[in-house]
Structure 1
Amino acid sequence: MPGDGITLIDTGYIRPHLCAAYLVHGERGRAALVDCGTATCAGRVLEAIDAAGVAREAVDWLLVTHVHLDHAGGAGPLMRALPNARLVVHPRGARHMVDPEKLIAGAKQVYGEEMFARDHAGMLPVDAARVVVAEDGHVVELAGRPLLCANTPGHALHHYSVWDADTRSWIAGDAFGLSYREFDNHNGAFALPTTSPVQFDPEQMKASIRRLVAQGPAAIRIAHYGVVTECARIADDLVAQVDAMAAIARGVDGAPDRHARIVEGLTVLCVERAAEHGVDAPERMVAEVLGGDIEINAQGLGVWLDRLARAR
C-alpha cells in the first residue's frame, strides 16, 4: 500500500518474497522496524533501511512480534548497527533476546545443524539495558505515530501484533497466518495458519485471529508475506482451517507414522483448498511453495498432541 508510511522490506530469508519486515515512518525522519529476519539477513535489512532514506541513527525502535528466528534472529546484529534503537519484545521472549542460547539450541533441533548454519548463523545477544518489555496494550511512542502492541498467542505464547492507527492496519507477524503472493488470483489472497513448534494452541490462535479482525482493519501486514486486505474473509478461512488441521492431527494420533500421516493430511487439505480458490496446478504449487511450511506445521501439530497427552 504505497504512500502509507510503511515500507515492506524483503529480508531475503531462504528465497524472495518469503519473509517480510516492516519499516514504519514517523515524523522528522524517525522510524521503527517491526520484525527483522534472521541474523544472516541483517545486512540486507540495513541496506533496505538506507534505501528507504532513513538514517540508521533515526531508527528508534525494533519491535519483534515474537522471538522465532525468522522474526527476531537478526536483532542482535541490528541493534549494534542501529545505535539509538530500543528492542520491544513480549515479556515471555525478553530473556531469549538477552541470552539467545536456548533459541539457538531449539532452532538447531527443528532445522538441523546444516540448515541452521546456512540460514541462522550469527545471532548475538541484545544488551538488557536496551530491551523494553511490551505487556498487552503497551504503546510504543514513535515520533507522531503511536504503535499499540496487542497480545496474539496461538502461534507462540510470546507473540504480539502491532496496531498502526494511522493506516488502521495490523503488523501481525505470524498471528494471521501465511499468505504468499504466488497464490493471488481473481478470488483474492489464499491463506493458511502457521502451527509451527513449539507452542501452537488452536483455541488461542482462533481467539487471536478474531481479535485482529474485530478491530475492523483496512489491512493486515503479515511476515509471510505482505499485505492482505480481505481481512474478514481470510479470518473465517483461517479459523476453519485451524479446526481442520487439528482434526487431521487428532485423527492419526497414536499411529506409528503419525508425522508422515499429518503431512499427508495437511497436503491434501492445502491442495483441495488451492483448487477451490482457483489456483492453477494446485498440486504443483502446494508442493513447490508450501512444502516446507507443511512440514513445519506438521511438527507443530505433533508437539501439540504430545502436550495434550502429557496433560491427561
Structure 2
Amino acid sequence: MNAGEFEPVRGVPDLYVHDTGMFDTDEYGSVYVYDAERPAVIDTGTGANREALFETIDSVGIDRGDLAWILPTHAHLDHAGGAGHLAARYPNAEVALPERGVRHLVDPEALVAGTKSAVGDQWRYYDEPEPVPEDRIRGLAGGDRIDLGDRELVARDAPGHAPHHAVYHVPESGVVFTADAAGIYVPEVDGIQPTTPPPQFDLDQCLRDLGLIADLDPAYLCFGHFGPREYDPELIGEAKRTYVEWVEAVRAKREELDDEAVVDHFEETSADVEFWNPERARANAGLNARGVLTYLDG
C-alpha cells in the first residue's frame, strides 16, 4: 500500500485498513475503519495526514453523523494524535481508550512535551493534537466491552509497551488489534521488528502481552505498524525471540560503550533500511535503543 490508500482486510467483513503515510513512510502506520452497525475507527495516526483518513472514512460510506467510536489503543501520539481532530469532525463519536491515557488526550500538553523529547527532529512529522472534550471521552478497563451494534470489541490490558496500552479483540470476527503489543509487522519481509520506546517499555510484561494475544487464539492480527495478517502461532514465537534478542543486543553493546554511543551504533547499523527509508530506520532504531537503556536502568 501507499500513503493515503485503503483496502479491505481480507477475510474480515466490514473492516478496512488505511495507510497513514506516517513519517513519510509507506506501510508504517495503520488506522482501521470498522463499518459495523455502530462504526468505529481504531487508532488515529498522528493527525498530520488526517484529511486522507477523512477521505477514506467517506469512501467506506460512513457519514459524519454516523461514526460512533474513536478508539485509540493507547495515548502515544502516533496512535492517538488525531483523536481530537476526529472528534471535532465526527460530532456523535465517543472517544474511548485505556483509563490511564484519558488525561493525556483531554490535556495533551505533557504528552506533547514528552513526545518532543523522545523523538527529537521527527516531531516535524506530527501535528499539534486537539484536546478531546471531557464529555466526549471515557476510560476503558481490561474486559470492558465496546458496543459496535452487530458485534462487540473487548479491551484487554497489555501494558508492556506503555501502562496506558491495550489490545482490542473482536470475538465475532476473530480479530485482535495488536497496537504495539506484538511489535512492528513488516509486510515486505513477513517479519516482526521490536518497538521499545522510552520511558515505560517493560520486557517481561511485553512477553506476557504476547502470551495474552496467543491465548485469545485469533484468526487475524491487525498491527498498528503495519497492517493485517492471518494469525500464525509461529509469528508470536518470532516476536518473543525478537524482543529478547534485541534487549540482549543493547545490553551487550552497553558493556562496550556509553549510552549515547550505544544509540549511535544502532542507528548507524540498522538493517531496517531494507524496507523503510533511511531516516525512519535510523529514528526507529535510536528510539528503541533509548527505550531499552531506560528499561535496563529500572
Shift of 1:231: 2.9
> Which residue matches 2:99?
91
Q: What corresponds to 2:172 in structure 1?
A: 166
3, 26, 33: which one pairs with 1:23? 33
Give yes or no for the alignment of 1:123 onto 2:129: yes
**Structure 2 unaligned runs (5+)?**
1-8
Matching of residues 250-269 of structure 1 within 5 Å:
250-253=251-254, 256-261=257-262, 264=265
RMSD: 2.1
Partners in 2 of 1:303 and 1:77 — Cα distance? 32
Distance in structure 2 (CA, Å) of the matches to 1:252 and 1:58: 52
Q: Separation in 2 of the partners of 1:74 and 1:285?
A: 26
Pick closer, same or farther for the CA change 1:47–1:284 going to 2, 3 Å. closer
Distance 1:242 1:9 in 2: 27
* Contact 2:167–2:179 (Cα < 8 Å) also in 1: yes
- Counterpart Cα distance in 2 of 1:123 and 1:241: 32
> Which runs of no fewer than 5 residues in structure 1 stay unpaired?
184-188, 272-281
Taking a change above 3 Å as real, the CA distance of residues 284 and 140 of structure 1, as seen in their structure-2 partners, is closer
Identity of aligned residues (%): 29
The residue identity in structure 2 corresponding to 1:291 is R
Which structure 2 residues correspond to residues 203-222 of structure 1 after superposition, within 5 A?
Answer: 203-222=204-223
Superposed displacement of residue 46, structure 1: 1.0
Equivalent residue for 1:274?
A: none
More helix as a share of residues: 1
Query: How many angstroms apart in 2 are the aligned matches of 1:285 and 1:21?
Result: 20
Which residue does 1:278 correspond to in 2?
none
- Partners of 1:39 and 1:123 within 8 A in 2: yes
TM-score, normalised by the number of residues in structure 1? 0.85
CA contact (8 A) 1:200 1:301 kept: yes
Q: Which residue of 1 aligns with 2:290?
A: 299
CA–CA separation in structure 2 for the residues paired with 1:26 and 1:145: 8
Match for 1:136 among 138, 142, 145? 142
Q: For residue 285 of structure 1, report the CA deviation from its aligned partner.
A: 4.4
Residue of structure 1 aligned with 2:163, choices 157, 160, 167: 157
User: What secondary structure sits across from 1:136 in the alignment?
Assistant: coil
What is the 5 A alignment of 1:1-312? 1-2=9-10, 4-14=13-23, 15-27=25-37, 30-112=38-120, 114-116=121-123, 118-183=124-189, 189-253=190-254, 256-261=257-262, 264=265, 271=271, 284-285=274-275, 288=278, 290-306=281-297, 308=298
Partner AA of 1:303 in structure 2: T
Q: Distance in 1 between matches of 2:287 and 2:232?
A: 25
Q: Which amino acid aligns with 1:231?
A: D
Q: Residue 285 and residue 59 in structure 1: after superposition, are their counterparts in 2 closer, same or farther (change >3 A)? A: closer
Match of 1:186 in 2: none
Contact 1:38–1:73 under 8 Å retained in 2: yes
Task: Give the partner amino acid of 2:288.
Answer: N
- 1:39 Cα deviation from its structure 2 partner: 2.0
User: How far apart, CA to CA, are the structure 2 residues paired with 1:170 and 1:45?
Assistant: 21
Task: Give the number of aligned pairs.
Answer: 287
